[in-house]
Amino acid sequence: MATSEKAEPTRRDFLYIATGAFGAVGAAALAWPFIDQMNPDASALALASIEVDLSSLEEGQSMTAKWRGKPIFIRYRTAKEIEEAKAVDVASLIDPQSDEERTKPGKEHFLVQIGICTHLGCVPLGEAGEYDGWFCPCHGSHYDTAGRIRKGPAPLNLELPPYDFISDTVIKIG
Amino acid sequence: MSGHSTFQPQNGIVKWMERRLPIIGLAHSSFVAYPVPKNLNYWWTFGGILAFCLMAQIITGIVLVMHYAPNTAIAFASVEHIMRDVNWGWMLRYLHANGASMFFIAVYIHIMRGLYYGSYKEPREVVWILGVVIFLLMMATGFMGYVLPWGQMSFWGATVITNLFSAFPIVGDPIVELLWGGFAVDNPTLNRFFSLHYLLPFMLAAIVGLHIWAFHEAGNNNPTGVEPKDAQDTVAFTPYYTIKDLYAIVLFMIFFVWMAFMVPNFLGHPDNYIPADPLVTPAHIVPEWYFLPFYAILRAVPDKLGGVLLMFGAIAVLFVLPWLDTSKVRSNTYRPLGKQFFWIFVFVCIALGYLGAKPAEGGYVIASRIATVWYFAHFLVILPVLGLIEKPKPLPNSISEAVLAKKGGSAAAAE
């Protein structure tokens, strides 16, 4: 076929491509609801904020709340724990963060964090590990008294949920 | 059937694959080069429409299962959760619920097309029998799906239909308890119905595969009922019938989405939005519309066992239809009497559907009995006798001749 001709596009070519394109857009529009149905639904989104009363916590006690299906560790830290957390050289940490950055001003004795190991999602054990904080038994990650990763495979400090004190002893998470 | 191109791969990868697993060649010979009589009308597109319906039901169904809970305590609430909370859940459920009705509309048209054009006759008996099996599985699947929302109609529909089996002497009650997993329709029943409702569509898909295989072996029937004689009588499936089927599917989808979006509850029953109550039966209980003709037959018989037997018999008779119809001519186009009796039969079926929705009293019962007798007489008396006494019109020599005769009567000019 040495003498191939370049034919002008015909009306038929145009209709053919336009129909195909229209069909492709329609198929994509139809596919979206079948994908989007897997996203969090209205009932899941409705649970996106909770209030927790901390008044029953004494110094040295912890509690666990559930927010969006995840455990929230709330600890009333002892003076010794706070001192330990502040004594660390921030620059030496794997995920450098000061103790002040991990608490609310004036409420430094309360540490509120998402109780999920940043390695692969297990729930760490409290008051355990080599740094008096949390220890994840799954793969051996050690967190300190401010919930910062100190040793082990986890890459980041325990995540902090968005929260605020709405009174002296009540916090709103989410 | 042979003719048209055979698959000759040019691409190296396709060639490599063809030597090992000739799946592309199989698809090519089944859906591209496959020769189809060139005179198929739009009634033939319902096969493709049904394939679309099955796929739509499986896809929407799999997605609904991601949100539904088959437990009597929460099944009803989980359906409401789908309707109110789940993203697009209302649309997915309405598409699935109306999709079942669309499936039955299409299958009834498909069956009637087969009856009119004699598509069940030699050598397509197995195609037809597999089709009846598909129809039965569809009915079982549709029935069990209707139970899942666990509303009043779900519960009492399940109770009534399972109780059909109690009509059989001695074995009846043990069978019913086996079906229920207890002494009434309850959680075990819901669980197994859910399991089977998920399983049966895949069995359906497998039998659809056999159905297609079987008619690809015999070749499509066509409106003349005359087998293709040469390549002049056929065209390749692609592009001619892929595009025609696709066009029909798009038209069908317009009707489908109109139902699902504009009148989604038109074919449903308001009572099914009341949670199931095992202590109170709704005043009027009717099955889904697609069961109504059979329901009318059940109620036409003043005897429990007799009614159940006739109802099952109404479907069983379809299995032996290829051997009941004695006419040598396939298509009713060339059967002056067969054509008239066909339309009477269609009317009788629609009448049975209408009567099934009416209360079982007075004139409705009498009409149901007449229609039931006619239904069975059509298969057991009319079709066997008609083939012997009817004088069919002359058949065309070929499909091409019939087509040309229709388009201006210049059949002779083409030769």
Q: Which residue has the tokens 């964090």?
A: A113
- Concatenate the DSSP letters of all residues of B181-211 into one string: TSSSS-HHHHHHHHHHHHHHHHHHHHHHHHH
CA distance B308 to B175: 15
| Contact B158/A at CB under 8 A | no
Q: Give the pLDDT score at A48.
A: 81
Query: Sheet containing A132-136: which strands, arranged edge to edge?
Result: A125-126, A132-136, A141-144, A149-151
Q: Give the pLDDT score at A3.
A: 53
> Which residues in chain A have their CB less than 8 angstroms from residue B86's CB?
37, 41-42
| Contact A27/B at CB under 8 A | no
Contact indicator for B331, B225 with CB cutoff of 8 Å: yes
The pairing of strands A163-165 and A149-151 is unpaired
Q: Give the pLDDT score at B9.
A: 86
Q: Does the pLDDT of residue B156 top 50, yes or no?
A: yes
CA distance A154 to A158: 9
Q: Model confidence over B51-76: pLDDT tens digits?
A: 999 999 999 999 999 999 999 999 99
Which pLDDT band, with edges at 50, 70 and 90, does A44 fall under?
confident
> Which residues in chain B have their CB less than 8 angstroms from residue A30's CB?
none
Contact indicator for B261, B94 with CB cutoff of 8 Å: yes
Partner-chain residue, chosen from B63, B81, B84, that has the shortest CB–CB distance to A37: B63
CA distance B39 to B234: 8
Contact indicator for A94, A155 with CB cutoff of 8 Å: yes
Q: Give the pLDDT score at B1.
A: 42
Shortest distance between the Cα of B275 and any Cα of chain A, in A, equals 21
Distances (CA, A) of B347 to B22, B112, B350, B351, B375: 47, 12, 5, 6, 10
Q: In the annotation, is A142 catalytic? A: no
Of B410 and A41, more confident: A41
Question: What value does the mean pLDDT of chain A take?
Answer: 92
DSSP state, residue B35: E
CA distance A26 to B180: 44
Q: Give the pLDDT score at B408.
A: 67
Partner-chain residue, chosen from A37, A43, A44, that has the shortest CB–CB distance to B88: A37
| Nearest alpha-carbon partner for B194 in B125, B162, B146 | B146
Q: Model confidence over A117-174: pLDDT tens digits?
A: 999 999 999 999 999 999 999 999 999 999 999 999 999 999 999 999 999 889 999 8
Residue A151: partners with Cβ closer than 8 Å, 6 or more residues away: A130, A131, A140, A141, A142
Q: Model confidence over B104-138: pLDDT tens digits?
A: 999 999 999 999 999 999 999 999 999 999 999 99
CA distance A74 to A97: 19
| The dihedral sign for the CA sequence B46, B51, B54, B59 | negative
CA distance A2 to A72: 74
- Concatenate the DSSP letters of all residues of B288-305 into one string: -GGGHHHHHHHHHSSSHH
Q: Decide if B87 and A34 are in contact by the 8 Å CB cutoff.
A: no
Residue A49 identity: S
CA distance B226 to B331: 8
Q: How many CB atoms lie within 10 A of CB B182?
A: 11
Q: Does the pLDDT of residue B370 top 50, yes or no?
A: yes
E strand intervals along chain A:
50-53, 62-67, 70-76, 110-114, 125-126, 132-136, 141-144, 149-151, 163-165, 170-173
Token pair, residue A74, equals: 């709330």
Task: State CA A99 to chain mean position distance.
Answer: 19
Token pair, residue A46, equals: 């409705």
Residue B281: partners with Cβ closer than 8 Å, 6 or more residues away: B156
Q: Does the pLDDT of residue B415 top 90, yes or no?
A: no
Q: How many CB atoms lie within 10 A of CB B410?
A: 9
> Which residues in chain A have their CB less than 8 angstroms from residue B63's CB?
34, 37
| Contact B59/A at CB under 8 A | yes
C-beta contacts of B63-68 below 8 A and 24+ residues apart: B63/A34, B63/A37, B63/B92, B64/B92, B64/B93, B64/B96, B65/B198, B66/A37, B66/A38, B67/A37, B67/A41, B68/B148
Q: Does the pLDDT of residue B152 top 50, yes or no?
A: yes
Which pLDDT band, with edges at 50, 70 and 90, does B413 fall under?
very low
Q: Decide if B91 and A39 are in contact by the 8 Å CB cutoff.
A: no
> Does B123 sit behind a cis peptide bond, omega within 30 degrees of 0 on the bond before it?
yes
What is the SS3 string spanning B140-173?
HHHHHHHHCCCEHHHHHHHHHHHHHHHHCCCCHH
Residue numbers of B between 192 and 221 with CB closer than 8 Å to A = none
